[in-house]
Chains A and B, each alone.
Chain A
Amino acid sequence: MSSTEQGGTQQGGTQQPATADPWVTAQRSPEFVQMRKKLRGFVFPMTAFFLLWYFLYVALAAFAPAFMAIRVLGNINLGLIIGLLQFVSTFTITTIYVMFANKNIDPPGTHIREQLEAGAR
């Protein structure tokens, strides 16, 4: 994943637009640059987090089965609880992302789209 982040398009903004291509103009607009930065600032760390958390769980299951077998409540052990926490974290990340996207991605996205579609007419 790290290699996808380093590319970016930041250096593109320093060049002057050579043409009046509407897509290039939109891509270099501050509103779009800001929106992309916000989106990447959310989804890349979140992806890193859930992958790390998932592989921590997988590694525990593979290399520390005795730890996972520790009983907590009756027959319910740590392995079951950590496994169920994977469900909880997945549902939670889903909900947080929807709230984030509704607030930070959809309004500027709609605005940029409407500008582009108005310009195309």
Chain B
Amino acid sequence: MIRDVAQETGGVGEPLINGGIFLIFVVITLVIVFRVSRSSKSAADYYAAGRSFTGPQNGVAISGDYLSAASFLGITGAIALNGYDGFLYSIGFLVAWLVALLLVAEQLRNTGEFTMGDVLSFRMRRRPVRAAAAVSTLAVSFFYLLAQMAGAGGLVALLLDVDSVAGQAITVAVVGVLMIVYVLIGGMRGTTWVQIIKGFLLISGAALMSIWMLGSYGFNLSELLGQAVANSPDNGEAILAPGLQYGETTVDKINFISLALALVLGTAGLPHILMRFYTVPTGREARKSVVWAIWLIGIFYLFSLVLGYGAAAMVGPERIAAAPGGPNSAAPLLAFELGGVVLLGFISAVAFATILAVVAGLTITASASFAHDVYANVIKHGEMDPDGEVRVARITALVIGALAIVGGIFALSAGLNIAFLVALAFAVAASANLPAILFSLFWKRFNTSGVLWSMYGGLISCVVLIAFSPVISGKPVDPATGTSPSLVQGVDFSWFPLDNPGLVSIPLSFILGIMGTLIGRHPRDEKRFAEMEVRSLTGAGSEKAVPH
């Protein structure tokens, strides 16, 4: 009965309950942000929460920052519709954390202050390297922000039953304004608490649903899988093995390998993740943060496997594909099937909270990079008081928030694919940032030319290859919809065959880093390298926690 009503109106459940639970989340987090913001004064407070979080707290916050709407709604939906191929995504997202754990997190915490630019410019010529770091940080953050904002718009179509373009645009604007409020008032401390609460809610919500789900199949995974197969008339047993989404042609397969490379090397180059390591007092706590994050994220992806096949078994791929949000509606529909309007309301609120927490983290990262790297160090030559820098960061956050709202509305109306935008952000992070970070930390001869060649080369090759890829133009017209899945209709200027540029742009960035170092004119700074290396492994001289 309820289900019939829900299907008639296009959404699921009660929009009032969905919105109400979300409102409660917003009110509670706003109160917390106000309370913790009283002690946010200095630059270390605003950018790095006074370095006062413990490893476990930061680990939960990292999982809250990392598990975006693409992870929660996207992967569950991908598994529900395409079976095993959705699972491949989550494995890439998880294994990637080993790069962060083994090679990046501690060293970054020990050598940097607030941004990725701090580490990259440590022993190089400061201004050009900081400028490059800021350009790349802003590019990655912008693609990621677009994805999250577009996701917010898509989500309301389903959950609040708003399907007019204007209504969705208003929701994007509301999410943008809330995020600006969190960042301006709470700084990194407030943002971190929002991420901790969201991470806790998301993982416990997924746990509740997964255990409920498994329980209704007598805790027998094989039986659940069997029901999912029985409920997938189009694909049948094919959903249990790889190949549905990425298996048809050789280009598909190479495309998939390119995506896998970008996923596994992208995480440790995501600026908003790197910045989280500065919120703990020591490199050792940074290590603990990653360990907590790996366990939480790994367990979450195990739940998403159960939820994805569970949605196929209980809701069925046909209903999911026909729902307003398409694949993204798999998790909410499953929640409704399991626990009715209340569980659906809870899961909807968690999904909104997810978007809110991730965009707040991205905004503070992008604003910190502009204020700290570009404004204070490139424009003002590092001669600027920290209060002035924080003021610039707050103004930047406002501008970025406004841009994200406009960009999000554009991405929504252009129908940009959320998973594609996230994959793009990972590809840029893996191409532009990770090679330069690894060479800076581990290769003595690496110099300023190497950094610039690697970062700009990685960034430009990534963006150019995407511009001339089938994502932008030239995919054949789908007879079912009458339009091409490409962004631009009617023309074909594509010459690069892959959707994801990682397979070319990531090795290219490593090679350019080596070539730039060997050919470039910039000398290396032995003393600064000694200081960087000793600091990175011992933590000597690194920024300590700020008492408050």
Contact = CB atoms under 8 A, between A and B. Distances in A.
Interface of A: 1, 3-5, 7-9, 12, 19, 21, 23-24, 26-27, 32, 35-36, 39-40, 43, 46-47, 50-51, 54-55, 57-59, 61-63, 65-66, 68-69, 73-77, 79-80, 83-84, 86-87, 90-91, 93-94, 97-98, 101, 105-106, 108-110, 112-113, 116-117
15 contacts: A3-B439, A4-B442, A4-B443, A7-B444, A7-B445, A21-B530, A26-B538, A26-B540, A36-B537, A68-B84, A87-B91, A87-B298, A91-B298, A93-B98, A112-B540
Contacts of B481: none
Given A7-B446, A51-B264, A83 B226 contact: no
Contact count band on B: 35 or more
A119 to B, nearest CB: 10
A19 B94 CA distance: 45
Interface string B415-435: 000000000000000000000
Contacts of A90: 94-95, 97-98, 294, 298
Contacts of A12: 444, 526
A97 B97 contact: no
Contacts of A75: 221-223, 225-226, 229, 240
Contact of B533 (A3, A27, A54, A93): A27
Given A55-B260, A62-B242, A62-B253, A91 B98 contact: no
Given A4-B439, A86-B94, A94-B98, A65 B530 contact: no
B537 A54 contact: no
A73 B220 CA distance: 11
Given A23-B530, A46-B102, A101-B287, A73 B538 contact: no
A59 B439 CA distance: 27
Contacts of A65: 241-243, 247
B256 A62 contact: yes
A40, A66, A80 interface centre (most CB from chain B within 10 Å): A80
A1 B298 CA distance: 25
B534 A27 contact: yes
Nearest to A6: B443
B294 A39 contact: no
Contacts of B229: 75
A24 B530 CA distance: 5
Q: Which secondary structure dominates where chain B touches chain A?
A: helix
Nearest to B220: A74
A66 B185 CA distance: 55
Given A63-B253, A83-B87, A91-B295, A32 B537 contact: yes
B95 A113 contact: no
Contacts of B438: 1, 4
A44 B107 CA distance: 15
A112 B534 contact: yes
B226 A74 contact: yes
Contacts of B84: 61, 68, 79-80, 83
B284 interface: yes
B527 interface: yes
Contacts of B295: 91, 94
A76 B95 contact: no
Interface in B88-121: 88, 91-92, 94-95, 97-99, 101-103
B234 interface: no
B364 interface: no
A102 B494 CA distance: 51
Contacts of B531: 23
B298 A77 contact: no
Contacts of A57: 91
Contacts of B256: 58, 61-62
Contacts of B294: 90-91, 94
